[in-house]
């Protein structure tokens, strides 16, 4: 028997398909872009323990996350859809991100439709507003820096589970209103309990799901769709306290505790303090709102490190006005909670969504992807107003068509930039003249394109303004080498940067590894082994790095590589052992020992392994959360004992072949 869709369902299907086709058209140019920055911090885990083709490797990989206490394992799991080893091409990752973004758009349609029927149970307006509000969010160019930034799949997955959790909770609430208490409680548990858990396992800000539910209940449902049966009321209230009230109180308490701790103990890796961060974030939030409501083809993208923080209420002058403006928006939401609950909910939902990443936790000040979940309800009130065609019918009808198409064109333009690496670097550098990262990114392309003089011209003013910018100082040396050699002033600038930088991340071993190679072959006059030692000593004198065991390990490791390059094997071994003492890790011991062995000094490699055996009881215990689970997995698999035993046997077997330049092995 043939079945056919009703006209209403055909219209709905056509609208959804059109929205998704427009989405894929808008994003398609960006799918061919490269990996970027933090991608290289997370995705290499795909090959860190070998190809993920067996269960032991799978468990080592899936527990290896370190971004949050949860380790974000669901994000890591999702990357296996795109690759099982590293390196890998970026296209499958970006395509998966886009598909996930489309799924979130469909889920948002369902959520807004469900909420809209609370306001208007009959008629097509709730569905139409849900489609339009979702399309305005889905096609917005600001979300390009989430969707095409592969590692931000974490935020997108958290968004998906937030939407699924809210939908399940709302379904459970409906079941309770219909008298099906047991079924309603199960759906509430799945939505608020399971949804929050899955969202947190994707990214920590998924913990805000209960707060979102609380706002929807308070501003919309409690007044417009209350539970009237006494027993259902009692059950619902009890479970809302457990699943919503308690998690929200705990989360707010945690944010307060972090703020107090940061204020008391300081933030060594940031140039600003906690009070300055809190003064800056109102300006940041207004900047986000500007980007959301006045969309443009290009923005700062990933480069907000040049964003000036607020020193006081009056410096810069926009600080106090921004604080007052955010307060006024919150006050407006409160004032409209009865007459315009949809507007009040959109405002409250947005600011609630910024609580974790834009308040006390000392993250970097600005990132565009922080708007992905908070902005989900942003354009719903606008869509609802546009679809009231009783007034301004011509204007509203035009905007209903023009706005989604315009956003799609802007997104297409921005995605095209994301798909062209060299154009992206130069455009971001133009947009962000005060961003050291943006300028360093552009400099790399200028040097590779044969324009080192232009690179030097770009670097010098910024380095003069902030001499601690190590990425600029290192790129200055790279550019000078391309021009024929470095001079004393260049080396002095690099030494100053190493002496004053707060957090070079993983830049030290990567850059010095290349610099040692260049110094050995004398391909850059002035960049000598002696000069590199002087730079490293400046790093050792850095009081900020002295408080970071990982960075001190990097410095001693590089000094060991220099000693090894000069044939000073005992000195190299001593540096590697000191580096191991800075941060006792079996992986570092294995890498250092293998490096000595491959250089022809297996006995020295054994010394490093012996040193690790001595130090290992003093190694710090893994923190709570996924690091502890990861350590348990490695112990359960006997991973490091087997790896180190295999390496020890290999080194021992190679000693007879290098006995002419080895000395007796020290240690047990």
Our count of domains for the chain comes to 2
Checking phi first, is residue 522 left (phi over 0); if not, alpha (psi -120 to 50) or beta? Answer: left
pLDDT band at 396 (very low <50, low <70, confident <90, very high): very high
Spatial distance between the Cα atoms of 163 and 103, rounded to a whole number of angstroms: 10
Cβ atoms of 376 and 347 within 8 Å: the answer is no
Task: Based on the fold, state whether residues 327 and 445 are members of the same structural domain.
Answer: no
Q: Which residues of 603-625 are buried (b: 16+ CB within 10 A; e: fewer)?
A: bbbbbbbbbbeeeeeeeeeeeee
Domain membership flag for residue 117:
yes
pLDDT of the residue at 549: 92
DSSP state of 316: S
pLDDT of the residue at 9: 79
Domain membership flag for residue 75:
no
The gap between the terminal CA atoms of the chain, to the nearest Å, is 82
Task: Based on the fold, state whether residues 347 and 475 are members of the same structural domain.
Answer: no
Domain membership flag for residue 178:
yes
What are φ and ψ of residue 315, in 5° steps? -135, 105
From 382, 416, 450, the end of a domain falls on 416
- Show the domain range for 128: 26-43+88-416
pLDDT of the residue at 567: 87
Task: Based on the fold, state whether residues 399 and 442 are members of the same structural domain.
Answer: no
pLDDT digit string (tens) for 494-553? 999 999 998 888 888 989 999 999 999 999 999 999 999 999 999 999 999 999 999 999
pLDDT band at 167 (very low <50, low <70, confident <90, very high): very high
Cβ atoms of 87 and 47 within 8 Å: the answer is yes
Mapping DSSP to helix (H, G, I), strand (E, B) and coil, where does residue 50 land?
A: strand
Task: Based on the fold, state whether residues 428 and 383 are members of the same structural domain.
Answer: no
pLDDT of the residue at 507: 86
pLDDT of the residue at 2: 52
pLDDT digit string (tens) for 546-585? 999 999 999 999 999 999 988 898 999 999 999 999 999 9
- pLDDT tops 80 at residue 379: yes
Can you read off the two tokens belonging to residue 450? 């044969």
- Rounded mean pLDDT, 367-381: 97
Mapping DSSP to helix (H, G, I), strand (E, B) and coil, where does residue 315 land?
A: strand
- Rounded mean pLDDT, 416-445: 90
pLDDT band at 96 (very low <50, low <70, confident <90, very high): very high
Task: Based on the fold, state whether residues 438 and 401 are members of the same structural domain.
Answer: no
Spatial distance between the Cα atoms of 435 and 310, rounded to a whole number of angstroms: 17
- pLDDT tops 70 at residue 3: no
Can you read off the two tokens belonging to residue 136? 């305005």
pLDDT of the residue at 667: 37
- DSSP string for residues in 80-117: TTT-SSSS--SHHHHHHHHHHHHHHHHHHHHHHHHHHH
Domain membership flag for residue 19:
no
pLDDT digit string (tens) for 447-462? 888 899 999 999 999 8
Task: Based on the fold, state whether residues 384 and 450 are members of the same structural domain.
Answer: no
Spatial distance between the Cα atoms of 569 and 505, rounded to a whole number of angstroms: 28
Task: Based on the fold, state whether residues 222 and 319 are members of the same structural domain.
Answer: yes
- Rounded mean pLDDT, 70-87: 95
Within 330-481, strands assigned E span: none
Checking phi first, is residue 301 left (phi over 0); if not, alpha (psi -120 to 50) or beta? Answer: left
Of 13, 291, 220, 27, the closest CA to residue 131 belongs to: 13
Task: Based on the fold, state whether residues 460 and 381 are members of the same structural domain.
Answer: no
Percent of the chain with pLDDT over 90: 79
pLDDT band at 4 (very low <50, low <70, confident <90, very high): low
- Rounded mean pLDDT, 609-616: 92
pLDDT of the residue at 624: 84
pLDDT of the residue at 1: 44
Q: What is the CATH number of the domain that holds 528?
A: 1.25.40
Task: Based on the fold, state whether residues 254 and 289 are members of the same structural domain.
Answer: yes
Domain membership flag for residue 11:
no
- pLDDT tops 50 at residue 665: no
DSSP state of 665: P
Total residue count of the chain as it appears in this document: 668
Domain membership flag for residue 519:
yes
Can you read off the two tokens belonging to residue 178? 């219909």
pLDDT digit string (tens) for 297-321? 999 888 898 899 999 999 999 999 9
From 416, 443, 466, the end of a domain falls on 416
Of 81, 101, 97, the closest CA to residue 23 belongs to: 101
pLDDT band at 294 (very low <50, low <70, confident <90, very high): very high
Spatial distance between the Cα atoms of 69 and 197, rounded to a whole number of angstroms: 13
pTM assigned to the model = 0.93
Spatial distance between the Cα atoms of 610 and 606, rounded to a whole number of angstroms: 6
- pLDDT tops 90 at residue 609: yes
Cβ atoms of 356 and 256 within 8 Å: the answer is no
Cis peptide bond N-terminal to 87, omega within 30 = yes
Residue bearing the bigger pLDDT, 260 or 4: 260
pLDDT band at 666 (very low <50, low <70, confident <90, very high): very low
From 376, 396, 416, the end of a domain falls on 416
Task: Based on the fold, state whether residues 437 and 578 are members of the same structural domain.
Answer: yes
pLDDT of the residue at 654: 86
Domain membership flag for residue 60:
no
Domain membership flag for residue 370:
yes
pLDDT of the residue at 20: 96
| 83 CB neighbour count, 10 Å cutoff | 18
pLDDT of the residue at 657: 61
pLDDT of the residue at 269: 82
| 69 CB neighbour count, 10 Å cutoff | 15
pLDDT of the residue at 622: 87
- pLDDT tops 70 at residue 5: no
Cβ atoms of 147 and 97 within 8 Å: the answer is yes
Task: Based on the fold, state whether residues 502 and 627 are members of the same structural domain.
Answer: yes
Mean pLDDT of the chain: 92
Task: Based on the fold, state whether residues 528 and 558 are members of the same structural domain.
Answer: yes
């Amino acid at each position: 028997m043939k079945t056919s869709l009703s006209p209403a369902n055909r219209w709905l299907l056509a609208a959804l398909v059109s929205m998704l086709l427009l989405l894929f058209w808008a994003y398609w140019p960006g799918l061919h872009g490269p990996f970027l920055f933090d991608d290289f911090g997370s995705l290499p885990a795909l090959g860190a323990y070998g190809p993920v083709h067996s269960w032991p490797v799978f468990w080592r990989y899936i527990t290896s996350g370190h971004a949050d206490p949860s380790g974000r394992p669901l994000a890591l799991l999702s990357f296996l859809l795109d690759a099982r080893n590293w390196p890998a091409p970026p296209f499958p990752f970006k395509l998966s991100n886009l598909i996930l973004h489309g799924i979130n758009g469909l889920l948002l349609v369902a959520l807004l439709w469900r909420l809209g029927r609370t306001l208007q149970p009959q008629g097509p307006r709730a569905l139409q507003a849900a489609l339009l509000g979702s399309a305005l969010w889905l096609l917005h160019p600001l979300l390009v820096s989430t969707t095409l930034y592969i590692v931000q799949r974490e935020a997108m997955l958290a968004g998906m589970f937030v939407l699924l959790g809210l939908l399940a909770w709302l379904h459970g609430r409906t079941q309770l209103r219909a008298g099906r208490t047991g079924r309603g409680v199960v759906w509430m548990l799945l939505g608020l309990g399971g949804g929050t858990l899955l969202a947190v396992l994707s990214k920590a800000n998924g913990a805000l799901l209960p707060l979102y539910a609380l706002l929807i209940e308070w501003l919309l449902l409690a007044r417009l769709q209350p539970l009237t049966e006494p027993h259902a009321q009692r059950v619902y209230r009890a479970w809302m306290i457990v699943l919503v009230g308690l998690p929200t109180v705990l989360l707010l308490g945690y944010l307060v505790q972090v703020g107090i701790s940061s204020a008391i103990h300081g933030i060594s890796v940031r140039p600003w303090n906690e009070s300055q961060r809190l003064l800056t974030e109102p300006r940041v939030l207004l900047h986000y709102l500007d980007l959301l409501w006045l969309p443009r083809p290009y923005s700062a993208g990933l480069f907000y490190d040049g964003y000036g923080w607020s020193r006081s209420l009056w410096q810069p002058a926009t600080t106090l006005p921004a604080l007052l403006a955010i307060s006024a928006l919150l006050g407006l939401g409160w004032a409209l909670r009865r007459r315009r609950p949809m507007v009040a909910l959109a405002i409250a939902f947005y600011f609630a969504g910024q609580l974790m990443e834009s308040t006390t936790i000392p993250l970097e000040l600005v990132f565009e992807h922080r708007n992905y979940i908070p902005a989900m309800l942003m354009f719903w009130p606008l869509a609802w107003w546009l679809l009231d065609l009783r007034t301004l019918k011509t204007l509203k009808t035009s905007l209903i068509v023009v706005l989604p198409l315009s956003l799609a064109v802007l997104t297409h333009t921005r995605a095209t930039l994301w798909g062209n690496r060299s154009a992206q670097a130069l455009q971001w550098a133009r947009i962000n003249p005060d961003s050291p990262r943006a300028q360093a990114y552009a400099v790399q392309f200028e040097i590779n394109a044969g324009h080192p003089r232009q690179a030097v011209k770009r670097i010098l003013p910024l380095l003069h303004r902030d001499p601690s910018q190590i990425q600029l100082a290192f790129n200055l040396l790279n550019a000078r080498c391309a021009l024929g050699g470095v001079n004393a002033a260049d080396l002095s600038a690099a030494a100053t940067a190493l002496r004053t930088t707060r957090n070079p991340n993983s830049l030290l071993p990567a850059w010095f590894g290349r610099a040692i190679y260049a110094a050995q072959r004398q391909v850059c006059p002035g960049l000598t082994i002696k000069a590199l030692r002087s730079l490293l000593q400046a790093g050792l004198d850095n009081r900020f790095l002295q408080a970071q065991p990982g960075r001190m390990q990097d410095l001693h490791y590089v000094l060991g590589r220099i000693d090894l390059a000069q044939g000073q094997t005992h000195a190299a071994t001593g540096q590697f052992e000191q580096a191991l003492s800075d941060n006792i890790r079996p992986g570092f011991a294995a890498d250092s020992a293998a490096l000595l062995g491959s250089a022809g000094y297996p006995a020295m490699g054994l010394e490093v392994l012996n040193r690790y055996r001595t130090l290992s009881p003093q190694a710090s215990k893994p923190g709570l959360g996924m690091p502890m689970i990861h350590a348990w997995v490695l112990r359960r698999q006997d991973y490091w004992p087997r790896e180190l035993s295999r390496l020890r046997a290999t080194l021992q077997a190679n000693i007879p072949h290098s006995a002419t330049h080895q000395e007796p092995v020290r240690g047990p």
